Chain A
Amino acid sequence: MQPSASLTRRLAHRIFLSRQGRVSDGMYAVMFLAPVLIILVVVIFYPLGRVLAYSVTNANLLFPDRETYIGLGNFDFLINQDQIFKTAVKNTIFFTLASVAGGFSIGFMLALILNEKLPLRNVLRGVALIPWVVPGVIVALMTLYMFNGEVGVINYTLRSFDLIDENIPWFGSLDHAMWAVIVANVWNQTPFYMLMLLAGLQTCPDDLMEAAKIDGAGSLARFRYVTLPHLSKVIMIITALMVIWNFNNFDLIWTTTQGGPVNSTMVLSVYTYRQAFISFQTGYASAIAVLWLLGLLAFSYFYIRAMES
């Protein structure tokens, strides 16, 4: 029976393969992909196209259909005169780099420790994930309370350890507001790095580690020459993802400071939102969006180039 069964299977496989390349497959592909593509076109690509079109007009949210073409006027103003835009770009880059650096280092430390054999390891792993599922708005409300100038626990703790003499008015101070927001953001995102790096560490082959050990490689050497190379792909992917995500971050900053005090936490997403929905300058907001997209494109291009080499 064996040979004939395998013959039937091989035949079936042949038919299966030959049918796959035919017309019917294309028809099914259209059918299966249509819902997803329709949604993406309506909600993402069509609005995106409109943004491109609006960026060369003086469109206003309150007076639809009255926009006129103004060429590159928006861009000219943005690049040459808009100081807040410049501040927003600088702040966004700073916010992103600090958040990714902080979240990555803490997440990596946690992943390394929670990868060791520890009592209650699974419970600790579970607890460490909590910050990630707390909604951004609630993270922001917690931040407002904990960093509150008078009654916040952060000031109280810093004073108890004699690190500061007087309460810091975190959200009323040009030098401190950004740091409060970054700490909150790092807290919120650390679990993501931990989760991904832990998953990567678990697939790290034990025999390679053992071999390195036998060859006399110390802890640091093993980390540098075995662990890091093994994780390099995961690291590349999560840092790229998080750079892009943090560049887009809106919830946390909008809820805590709305960009203030005096633009000290003004980031691109908040500035764009303000232009679009507070000042109703759809055209101008669209121009910001276009520059932003160009920057994103450049970043992706160089990142992919760097990844390939």
Chain B
Amino acid sequence: MLARLDFDLDQYPRFKSTAMAIVLVVLMLFIFFPTFWMLSTSLKPNEDAFAVPPKWVPETVTLKNYETQLNDRSGFRNYFQNGVIVSLGTALVSIIVAMPAGYAFARLRFRAKRTLLLIILASQMFPAVIIVITLYSLYREIKLLDSYAGLILAFTSFSIPFSVWMLRGFCESVPEEIEEAAFVDGCSRVGILWRIVIPLIRPGMIAVGLFSFLNAWNNLLFALSLTTRLDMRTIPPGFLLTYVGEFQYKWSDMFAGSVLVTLPTVILFIGLQRFLVRGLMAGAVKG
């Protein structure tokens, strides 16, 4: 029946809404259950995490696991703090360096513009694991291993292509007349960028900041390879070390930590995603 090309679902509204509801519930269960399960387990005493049949809703609710994490100075708190420093740093540096570049690609005329843009965009395609083979020895030589600066630099390089592309789209959406008017009033290029363009494309800067922050916060490979000291680990390598090894079966603790780590990103993302979507679309206008 469905295979017939003139069959119109809209003529059977009840069939359509029932079918849609069923599919939606199944898909939403798939999407939502793991997150729910993480939350649920994080509120149980650890022995309940081993229960078969599983206790879907915690029987005894406890915040002990969260307490354990928040009191863990050398572990969780240390990783969390490093994560915040490095991710904020990456967001800030990405905005600062990608802003003028995005503007240049939108407005300035210079030789090899297309080629340069292509090279910048293509650099996103290189597998990180390939880069890190020799980035490690380079960092060892220039003493950047185990440093915030080194991590920020590495993370920034991986958010640059996308950031430049997105900010170029935003800059193109600024009406050229405004820039001209400022130019007539004697404003220089730098002045135009600083006083006119930047205030107008704040949403773009937020999008770039968010994207770079999340990238740095979630990155395992660089954080794992470019740090050797325990106290320099960010969250992903820190968790890897703690829970895939020594404390493998402390599920409740592990998920309390996971909730604490995921919460900031979910809040940031849900709150700011409209900027990111706008950024994606703005970049795509002249993709």
B23 CB–A CB distance under 8 Å: yes
**B61, chain A: closest CB distance, angstroms:** 19
Chain B, 234-256, CB within 8 A of any chain A CB: 235-237, 239-240, 243-244, 251, 254-255
Question: A36 contacts B164, CB within 8 Å?
Answer: yes
Q: Mark B133-163, 1 if CB is under 8 A from A, else 0.
A: 1111110100000000000011011001000
The bracket for how many chain B residues form the interface is 35 or more
Question: A292 contacts B157, CB within 8 Å?
Answer: no
Once bound together, how far apart are the Cα atoms of A255 and B224, in whole Å?
A: 11
Question: B109 contacts A21, CB within 8 Å?
Answer: yes
A84 CB–B CB distance under 8 Å: no
Once A36-B160, A43-B131, A273-B129 are accepted as A-B contacts, the answer to whether A106 and B240 lie under 8 Å apart by CB is no
Once A16-B180, A135-B262, A150-B52 are accepted as A-B contacts, the answer to whether A292 and B133 lie under 8 Å apart by CB is no
Chain A, 8-60, CB within 8 A of any chain B CB: 8-9, 12-13, 15-16, 19-21, 24-26, 28-29, 31-33, 35-37, 39-40, 42-48, 50-51, 54
Most chain A beta-carbon neighbours within 10 Å: one of B51, B132, B154, B181: B132
Question: A35 contacts B101, CB within 8 Å?
Answer: yes
A79 CB–B CB distance under 8 Å: no
CB-contact partner of A141 in B28, B138, B140, B254, under 8 A: B254
Of all chain B residues, which has the CB nearest A19? B183
Once bound together, how far apart are the Cα atoms of A48 and B127, in whole Å?
A: 10
Q: Chain B residues in contact with chain A, CB under 8 A? A: 2-10, 20, 23-24, 27-28, 30-32, 34-35, 37-38, 41, 49-54, 96-98, 100-101, 103-104, 108-111, 113, 116, 119-120, 123, 125-138, 140, 153-154, 156-157, 160, 164, 177, 179-181, 183-184, 189-190, 193, 214, 217-218, 220-221, 225, 235-237, 239-240, 243-244, 251, 254-255, 258, 261-262, 265-266, 269-270, 273, 277, 280-281, 287
Given A9-B177, A145-B41, 15 more A-B residue pairs with CB atoms under 8 Å apart are A19-B183, A32-B100, A42-B138, A43-B131, A48-B131, A61-B137, A116-B20, A130-B32, A131-B34, A136-B218, A187-B30, A250-B220, A254-B220, A254-B240, A269-B129
